Amino acid sequence: MTPPLTILSQSDADELARTEPVVVMSRGHSGTRVLSWALAALGIHMGTLRSEPAGDCQDRRFTGAIKKVADSRIGTCSTRAPGARETRRFRRALWRYLRGVPRDGRRWGWKFPETYLIGGVVDTVVPRARYLHLVRDGRDVAFKSHLTDDEGRRLGRTILGHLGLLGRPRHLQAAGSWAYQVQRFRALRPVLEPRVHRLTFEQLCTRPVETMEAVAGFLGLPMTDECRRYLAEQVRPEKVGQHRGEDPAKLRAVEALIGETLAAEGYPPAAR
């Protein structure tokens, strides 16, 4: 087992800063699982395990550090320079993760939805990172549960408390959490351009091969037959627009809460 790193040398920090990881930026339940495994099928090491279908990075110390840093960033401007403690925590955790990445010449990266909340910290530590910004209709996300809208989880409680949504119906908590995270990253995007490629869940479901070919091109990688096979077997177009089957009254409440963000991301309210 790799011993814990308490101090990271300047040369190690500099080496880390020269890397170019592929980072999935997205709210949970936005199609991140499919994107992560599609990236793995392109040959990118994403820290995944076949036994864990969510496609998250399985380095628990790394993902635990992401959650702690995210919790400390709630309520701050996403473009505000991160504090020294936040930066040190994330840098050490990322360095430990990188030490476990096979040195076989493959690209590497990770998917863990809470990373969406700490874009400024990631950019400080790895300023050459490439970002895949995946967005899904917030009305679909509103009727799914994730730890960032769960007041029984520390991070979820922090986000919902900041938004004034503690004790509110779960569909409103999930919708508010989605809008908050999307808005934070949108504010940060001008700082990260042109290292950001935006795609939508709807594109990934309805035009999967074309969408992943564009992703591969952005990353400077060839499209692979393995990726095409994965998309053919796993992508489900019927998952687009799932909110249409929900209670109309709840849906109206969701649209009233997050309508501005929906419109800004290209999801106009449904005609009544």
Q: Quote the DSSP letter at residue 104.
A: S
Residue 270 lies in a domain: no
- Provide the domain count of the chain: 1
For residue 24, tell me if it sits in a domain. yes
Does residue 177 belong to any structural domain of this protein? yes
**Residues 93-128: tens digit of each pLDDT:** 999 999 999 989 899 999 999 999 999 999 999 999
pLDDT tens digits, one per residue of 40-74: 999 999 999 999 999 999 999 999 999 999 999 99
Does 9 reside within a domain?
no
- Estimate to the nearest angstrom the gap between the alpha carbon of 83 and the chain centroid: 21
* 100 occurs within a structural domain: yes
- CB burial of 56-91 (b: ≥16 within 10 Å; e: otherwise) equals bbbbeebbebbbbbbbbbbeeebeeebeeebbebbb
pLDDT at position 268, please? 87
pLDDT > 80? residue 10: yes
Give residue 94's domain range: 19-264
Residue 183 lies in a domain: yes
DSSP class of 167: T
